[in-house]
Amino acid sequence: MDEIRYSQVNTSGGGATYYYKRGVTGNISNLDNESVQFATNNTGTFTLGTTISPITWQFTNADKTDLQWVINYSPGNTQTVNWNNVTITASALSYGEYYTATGGVGSIGIATQTH
């Protein structure tokens, strides 16, 4: 992750807005050890710290600008992540993101990842 701005809300209505920029001190969240790897066979891995979880993924539109990927943390514990307006350049991947996590935490954001 290079940079992301996102807001999260929980089922009781509480929430917060976050900002992360790699290499900047004082980030509200720490995503230094988070990564996603997409394989050509619509599988891959999501890494968070030392935990590596398998994913499946697919484009959800003909233009291949909308992507949905599912993190399989454990049997019965998955998270579906939706990326919209995906743009890929020689050095970066940019997108809008939304998902609902286990426990009802909803998140929406915009991000850039370097590759």
pTM of the shown model: 0.84
Residue 29: closest CA among 101, 115, 111, 114: 111
Tens of pLDDT along 15-72? Answer: 888 888 998 888 888 888 889 999 999 999 999 999 999 999 999 999 999 999 999 9
Q: Which residue has the tokens 């850039």?
A: 112
What is d(CA 53, CA 76) in angstroms, rounded to the nearest whole number? 13
| Average of per-residue pLDDT across 94-100 | 89
Q: Does residue 115 carry a pLDDT above 70?
A: no
- At residue 10, the pLDDT reads 77
Residue 74: closest CA among 42, 44, 50, 102: 102
Residue 112: closest CA among 92, 89, 88, 84: 92
What is d(CA 78, CA 33) in angstroms, rounded to the nearest whole number? 20
Q: Does residue 12 carry a pLDDT above 80?
A: no
| Average of per-residue pLDDT across 66-80 | 91
